[in-house]
Amino acid sequence: MPAETHVGRTPLGPDEVLTLVRERLAAILEIEEDRVTLDARFADDLDADSLALIELVEELEEELGERTVGFRVDDEDLADLHTVREAVDYIVVRLAAADGATS
């Protein structure tokens, strides 16, 4: 029987997504995790350039793709995400949509 890594996992909520984003982004930017708050703006507050955000997306897609089949961040949408809160909200919606598509 094939191992289905996405089966039996509960969907991630906003708090879990924030924790994941906070950990990954802090590591990429080499900053303290407590700087990555919901209201932090990627460019202005965290000095995150587009390459850092692409790296974040790649790590999130890898991590969340193991939990939810079909999870992807559209390149066009990335330009519209300016704060950590916007990113967390976007990811929660995408996870719910991907989870609904596989149910």
Q: pLDDT tens for residues 40-50?
A: 999 999 999 99
**Comparing 82 with 9, which gets the higher pLDDT?**
82
| Chain segment 7-33, per-residue pLDDT in tens | 445 678 999 999 999 999 999 999 999
**16's tokens:** 């879990």
Catalytic residue among 15, 44, 49, 74: 49
Domain ranges within the chain, ordered by starting residue: 14-102
Residue 49 designated active-site: yes
User: Which pair of structure tokens corresponds to residue 21?
Assistant: 């984003």
Residue 93 to residue 23: CA distance in whole angstroms? 20
Q: What is the pLDDT of residue 96?
A: 86
* Predicted structure pTM score: 0.85
Which one-letter amino acid corresponds to residue 77? D
* CATH code given to domain 14-102: 1.10.1200.10
Q: Are 20 and 68 in contact (CB under 8 A)?
A: no
- Provide the residue type at 23 as one letter: E
Span 48-76, mean pLDDT? 90
What is the per-residue pLDDT for 70?
Answer: 76
Strand partners, 41: 83
What is the amino acid identity at position 96?
A
